[in-house]
């Protein structure tokens, strides 16, 4: 749509090119923590250039500029508090929610372009436009649903019903059928609202069977869809900048969902259509008694921790729920003061979005060089004196290695059972997300410390630090 | 707005190369930074702001202007909020400092 035969068009084109380069640099600089903030700056510059270029586009009226200024101000007035005030523990739902906003904008632009130009729309344009509108609609409702589940406004457990997959495919099939009809006959204006509704419904259907632990994959997938819809809009508007940004966003979402799926040893198909929770319930029912457990008092636990050389903390979603990350850091600090080395083992799917635990611990001012990925820490476990599991469950379950009937069979886990002692902080004996009993709880090396993660951490801090004081006096 | 055949080819070129570039770049982002990465790409996906601005600025019709207005607000929220939150998160990531002497906490006195 940019008219390159005029000097202004060339200026706009070059501004867009610079903007696209800003986006590429921003992602490149995200590849290491020391340069990452520079990356954010590059992205911001890219956006500013993109907006300037767009405002130079011909055809924008004086009233138009006024409306734009007002809309930008309103958006910024909402965006600033949303960026600065949301607590780190609410980050998964915050990200899901903003996917919804982006998708809404992309969808609306597609709709306006259709009605402005129909029926003079070529086949290719119509096909891309249709796909763009459906994607926008499904990401909009899907992200709202995901945010609702994460915020616990909606029930978090998977909801399944007979014929669910058939219903999903039927909805998607009808939408695709209508897009094909529109390609043949772009003047069929009633079909566009219908495909929007189908997209909205599909977004809801896609998320209702998804359980909490599958959220990381699904959020990443919605990220990829949002990118694809932006790229599709780029084709509709003949705008390379949108295509570049959309492609970058799309691949990012795709890579993150692949990482998440691999970390759970599951396929996309399995996450999206597997209704994991249902299988798990059946498996849990079949399981019998696993043996006896040993529990430890705060006093005993504190003593053991204090006398260790190397302690590895394994955080999980339970830590996020109990908001225990600051207390965990405090415990690590008092242990460090006792000469105990403390490291953190981060499983890739711990929490509710990719990298969730890293952000929470960073918020609690844990230096990131103490946070070790699964591959880095696993060979070290035989040398570890105590593993302290705080609110993690399935990611440390050794059944994943050998129990073929288990729903988590084949999932790579943190090998905590190789350590000399495992201490599990847990509210009760309720099974984790997968609904399977955790073998590690019944291991003879394991001590259970019952209680809310935050309270337990407080008690352990008192035990460790208190003992030191009484000795030093 | 019909896409010229020329642009379809150029656009696919750009899409394929940008996708490849994105794949190779993002593959190198460590797991540590996956949440900030999501927040950042989230801000980037609000690039539909560019399309929204044109729709709002040209005011094809009353309803197009209303939809454009909503679209500009929605994508601006994403851009502004997305960049701010990414930066806020990244500011928290720090390397090991010199270990501070741990003072006895308030709870210890009990």
- Distance from the Cα of A472 to chain B's closest Cα (Å) equals 12
Closest residue of chain B to A250, computed from CA coordinates: B19
Same domain, A73 and A110: no
Q: Give, as one character, the DSSP assignment of residue B58.
A: H
Among residues A85, A117, A132, which one ends one of the domains? A85
Same domain, A374 and A456: yes
For range B14-37, the mean pLDDT: 93
Whether A253 sits inside 8 A of B41 (CB atoms) is: yes
Whether B76 sits inside 8 A of A237 (CB atoms) is: no
In a domain, A419, yes or no: yes
Whether A355 sits inside 8 A of B73 (CB atoms) is: no
Count up the domains in chain B and report the number: 1
Comparing CB atoms, the residue among B3, B25, B82 nearest residue A27 is B25
Whether B85 sits inside 8 A of A83 (CB atoms) is: yes
Is the CB of residue B55 less than 8 Å from the CB of residue A236? Answer: no
Site of tokens 């799917």: A349
Angle at B90 between CA B23 and CA A316, to 5 degrees: 85
Q: Which of A394, A415, A452, A455 is catalytic?
A: A394
In a domain, B99, yes or no: no
Contacts of residue B56 in chain A, CB cutoff 8 Å? 64, 67-68, 71
Q: Which range marks the domain in which residue B11 is found?
A: 5-93
Distance CA A311, CA A313 (A): 7
In a domain, B35, yes or no: yes
Bridge partners of A446? A422
Comparing CB atoms, the residue among A67, A99, A227 nearest residue B56 is A67
Among residues A50, A66, A85, which one ends one of the domains? A85
Same domain, A394 and A413: yes
Whether B44 sits inside 8 A of A23 (CB atoms) is: yes
In a domain, A286, yes or no: no
- Distance from the Cα of B31 to chain A's closest Cα (Å) equals 6
Whether A101 sits inside 8 A of B96 (CB atoms) is: no
In a domain, B25, yes or no: yes
- Distance from the Cα of A288 to chain B's closest Cα (Å) equals 37
Same domain, A66 and A104: no
Q: Give, as one character, the DSSP assignment of residue B3.
A: P
Compute CA A289 distance to the chain's CA centroid, rounded to the nearest angstrom.
35
User: Which of B23, B38, B91 to probe the A interface (max A CBs under 10 A)?
Assistant: B38
Number of CB pairs, chain A paired with chain B, less than 8 A apart: 408
Comparing CB atoms, the residue among A111, A240, A255 nearest residue B67 is A111
Same domain, A336 and A395: yes
In a domain, B39, yes or no: yes
Contacts of residue B29 in chain A, CB cutoff 8 Å? 27, 30-31
3-state secondary structure chain A: CCCCCCHHHHHHHHHHHHHHHHHHHHHHHCCCHHHHHHHHHHHHHHHHHHHHHHHCCCCCCHHHHHHHHHHHHHHHHHHHHHHHCCCHHHHHHHHHHHHHHHHHHHHHHHHHHHHHHCCCCCHHHHHHHHHHHHHHHHHHHHHHHHHHHHCCCCCCCCCCCCCHHHHHHHHHHHHHHHHHHHHHCCCCCCHHHHHHHHHHHHHHHHHCCCCHHHHHHHHHHHHHHHHHHHHHHHHHCCCHHHHHHHHHHHHHHHHHHHHHHHHHCCCHHHHHHCCHHHHHHHHHHHCCCCCCCCECCHHHHHHHHHCCCEEEEEECHHHHHCCCHHHHHHHHHHHHHCCCEEEEEECCCCCCCCCHHHHHHHHCCCCHHHEEEHHHHHHHHHHCCEEEEECCCHHHCCHHHHCCCCCCCCCCCCCHHHCCEEEEEECCCCCCCCCCCCHHHHCCCEEEEECCHHHHHHHHHHHHHHHHHHHHC
In a domain, B108, yes or no: no
Could you count the other beta carbons within 10 Å of the beta carbon of residue A263? 21
Question: CA torsion angle for A202, A206, A209, A211 (degrees, to 10)?
Answer: -150
A385 catalytic per annotation: no
Contacts of residue B68 in chain A, CB cutoff 8 Å? 67, 108-109, 112
Task: Kindly give the confidence (pLDDT) of every residue in chain A, 473 residues in length, as a single tens digit, with 9 standing for 90 and above.
Answer: 677 888 899 999 999 999 999 999 999 999 998 999 999 999 999 999 999 999 999 889 999 999 999 999 999 999 999 888 888 888 888 999 989 999 999 999 999 999 998 888 888 999 999 999 999 999 999 999 999 988 888 887 778 778 888 888 899 999 999 999 999 998 888 999 999 999 999 999 988 888 777 888 888 899 999 999 999 999 999 999 999 999 999 999 999 988 888 888 877 777 766 554 444 444 444 445 567 788 888 888 888 998 899 999 999 988 988 889 999 999 999 999 989 999 999 998 888 888 889 999 999 999 988 999 999 999 999 999 999 999 888 888 888 888 877 777 888 999 999 999 999 998 877 666 556 678 888 888 888 888 888 899 999 998 888 754 555 44
Q: Which range marks the domain in which residue A415 is found?
A: 298-472
Contacts of residue B87 in chain A, CB cutoff 8 Å? 37, 40
Distance CA A283, CA A406 (A): 7
In a domain, B55, yes or no: yes
In a domain, A293, yes or no: no
In a domain, B40, yes or no: yes
Is the CB of residue A242 less than 8 Å from the CB of residue A398? Answer: no
Same domain, A24 and A81: yes
Among residues A37, A62, A85, which one ends one of the domains? A85
Closest residue of chain B to A120, computed from CA coordinates: B2
Closest residue of chain B to A472, computed from CA coordinates: B104
Put simply, whether the predicted model's pTM sits higher than 0.90 gets the answer no
- B90-107: pLDDT as tens digits: 998 887 765 454 444 444
Same domain, A122 and A247: yes
pLDDT the model gives residue A322:
87
In a domain, A284, yes or no: no
- Assess whether pLDDT exceeds 50 at residue B59: yes
Contacts of residue B62 in chain A, CB cutoff 8 Å? none
Same domain, A130 and A170: yes
Same domain, A148 and A99: yes
Nearest to A109 by CA among B41, B76, B14, B69: B69
Distance CA A299, CA A409 (A): 36
Same domain, A192 and A314: no
CATH code of residue A376: 3.40.50.1220
pLDDT the model gives residue A464:
87
Backbone angles phi, psi at A373, to 5 degrees: -70, 160
In a domain, A180, yes or no: yes
Site of tokens 């069977």: A209
Same domain, A68 and A136: no
Same domain, A130 and A41: no
Count up the domains in chain A and report the number: 3
Distance CA A253, CA A267 (A): 15
Pair of tokens at residue A453: 């993660």
Is the CB of residue A149 less than 8 Å from the CB of residue A246? Answer: no
């Amino acid at each position: 749509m940019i008219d390159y035969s005029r000097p202004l068009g060339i200026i706009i084109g070059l501004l867009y090119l610079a903007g696209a380069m800003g986006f590429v640099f921003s992602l490149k600089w995200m590849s290491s923590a020391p340069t990452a903030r520079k990356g954010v700056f590059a992205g911001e510059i890219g956006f500013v250039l993109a907006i300037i270029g767009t405002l130079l586009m011909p055809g924008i009226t004086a009233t138009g500029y006024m409306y734009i200024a007002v809309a930008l101000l309103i958006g910024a007035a909402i965006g600033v508090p949303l960026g600065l005030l949301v607590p780190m523990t609410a980050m998964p739902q915050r990200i899901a929610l903003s996917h919804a906003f982006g998708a809404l904008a992309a969808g609306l632009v597609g709709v306006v372009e259709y009605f402005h130009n129909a029926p003079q729309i070529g086949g290719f344009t119509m096909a891309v436009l249709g796909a763009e509108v459906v994607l926008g609609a499904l990401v909009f409702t899907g992200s709202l649903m995901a945010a609702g589940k994460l915020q616990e406004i909606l029930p978090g457990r998977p909801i399944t019903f007979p014929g669910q997959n058939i219903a999903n495919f039927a909805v998607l099939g009808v939408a695709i059928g209508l897009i094909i009809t529109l390609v043949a006959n772009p003047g069929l204006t009633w079909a566009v609202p219908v495909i929007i509704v189908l997209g909205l419904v599909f977004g809801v259907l896609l998320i209702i069977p998804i359980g909490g632990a599958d959220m990381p994959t699904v959020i990443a997938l919605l990220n990829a869809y949002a990118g694809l819809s932006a790229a599709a809009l780029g084709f509709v508007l003949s705008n390379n900048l949108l295509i570049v940004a959309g492609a970058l966003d799309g691949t990012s979402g795709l890579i993150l969902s692949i990482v998440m799926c691999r970390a759970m040893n599951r396929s996309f198909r399995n996450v999206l259509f597997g209704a994991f929770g249902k299988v798990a319930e059946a498996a849990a029912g079949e399981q019998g008694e696993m043996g006896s457990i040993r529990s430890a008092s705060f006093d005993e636990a504190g003593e053991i921790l204090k006398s260790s050389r190397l302690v590895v903390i394994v955080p999980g979603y339970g830590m996020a729920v109990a908001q225990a990350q600051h207390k965990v850091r405090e415990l690590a600090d008092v242990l460090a003061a006792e000469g105990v080395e403390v490291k953190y083992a981060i499983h890739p799917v711990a929490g509710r979005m990719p990298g969730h635990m890293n952000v929470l611990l960073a918020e609690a001012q844990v230096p990131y060089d103490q946070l070790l990925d699964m591959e880095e820490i696993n060979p070290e476990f035989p040398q570890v004196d105590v593993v302290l599991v705080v609110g993690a469950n399935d990611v440390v379950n050794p059944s994943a290695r050998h129990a073929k009937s288990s729903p988590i069979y084949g999932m790579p886990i943190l090998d905590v059972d190789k350590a000399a002692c495992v201490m599990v902080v847990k509210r009760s004996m309720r099974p984790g997300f997968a609904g399977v009993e955790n073998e590690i709880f019944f291991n003879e090396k394991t001590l259970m410390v019952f209680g809310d993660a935050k309270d337990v951490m407080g008690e352990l801090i008192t035990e460790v630090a208190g003992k030191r004081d009484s000795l030093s006096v | 707005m019909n896409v010229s055949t020329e642009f379809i080819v150029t656009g696919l070129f750009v899409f394929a190369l940008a996708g490849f570039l994105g794949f190779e770049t993002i593959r190198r982002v460590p797991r540590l930074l996956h949440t900030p990465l999501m927040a950042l790409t989230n801000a980037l996906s609000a690039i539909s702001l560019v399309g929204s601005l044109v729709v709002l600025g040209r005011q094809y019709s009353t309803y197009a202007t209303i939809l454009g207005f909503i679209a500009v607000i929605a994508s601006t929220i994403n851009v502004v909020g997305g960049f701010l939150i990414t930066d806020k998160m990244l500011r928290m990531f720090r390397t090991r400092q010199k270990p501070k002497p741990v003072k006895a906490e308030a709870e210890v006195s009990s």
